[in-house]
Structure 1
């Protein structure tokens, strides 16, 4: 399981951009983490300028991406995800490395509730330990 939150300025998170970002994020997660195609959980937070403070060295396209996921992925898999996100956001969305911040937040499966149960009590149809 991986849930992604994307924060950015409203004027740069229009509907077509959000759809493209979601596609790139999911493609990276499928490739690096082995997530199933059907497991896409993305939320976008389009902020007004007065609600989003960031360093002067960043542009108005500055984007923060937070991915919450179960523990168990290898360091290599997480690094692969980060590298893919920077690569594809740059190549396909025109958002360079200075304008993208990526954070992975991991927690034990017991800390997640899914379909009425703690996640560590649910059988998954995909492998987390990659």
Structure 2
């Protein structure tokens, strides 16, 4: 699951394009299937979104929650792909993108009425 935060006037017009860019990165780096898209956008008024100096109003925060098991190399590949895609496809400089990956063991996830450790997934987690 991905949650994206940004200033509303900059985030709202590009949400669909941003979702497409994120999904391409997730399928490429993690091997997720095409139908595995779970993105949440949180557009904030400028007065509710403080960001570090040296950043523009395009500053975007991306939080990725996933079942633990991916290698350090795979997670770094994902992060770098997102930086590249945002710069190439959305004209958002890497200085304006902050990415955090949160991992939890599969038994801490619940979906489809079961816990993650009970689920049979159509993709590999240990990549």
TM-score band, normalised by shorter chain:
over 0.9
Task: Specify every segment of 5 or more residues in structure 1 that has no aligned partner in the other structure, as ranges.
Answer: none
How large is the RMSD of aligned CA atoms in angstroms? Answer: 0.7
Residue equivalent to 2:103: 106
SS at match of 2:33: coil
TM-score, with normalisation over the residues of structure 1? 0.95
Partners of 2:46 and 2:105 lie apart in 1 by 35
**What is the total number of aligned residue pairs between the two structures?**
127
Residue equivalent to 1:86: 83
TM-score, with normalisation over the residues of structure 2? 0.98
Q: Deviations over 1:38-85 (max 9, x none)?
A: 000000000011110011211000000000000001111101100100
Residue 7 (structure 1) shift = 0.2
Residue equivalent to 1:74: 71
Moved over 6 A (4+): none
Q: Deviations over 1:3-50 (max 9, x none)?
A: 0000000001124x0000000000000000000010000000000111
